[in-house]
Structure 1
Amino acid sequence: MQDLDSIISDLNANKIAHFDIESLRTLKTILPETEEVDALRRYTGEITQLTPACSFFLNLLDIPDYRLRIECMLLRLEFHRVMEDVVPNVHLLKIACTELRKSSSIRRLLLLLVNIGNYLNSSSSHGNAAGFKMSSLWKIIDHKATKGSSSLLHLVAKASYS
Structure 2
Amino acid sequence: MITQPFKQAVTQKDLERVKIMLSSSLILDLTFKSFQEMLAYALNQIPELIEQHDGTQFPNMSVWTKTYASEVREDLIDNFSAERIEHIKNVHEHVYAQELQEQLNSSTAATKDVKHEVSSVNITLLIVTLGVAVASILVGVLMDLSIVTIATTTVISTLLVGGITYYVVQKQ
Quickly name the TM-score band, shorter chain normalised: 0.3 to 0.5
Q: Whose helix proportion is higher, 1 or 2?
A: 2
Query: Under a length normalisation based on structure 1, what TM-score does the superposition of the two structures give?
Result: 0.34
Query: Under a length normalisation based on structure 2, what TM-score does the superposition of the two structures give?
Result: 0.33
Give 1 or 2 for the bigger CA radius of gyration: 1
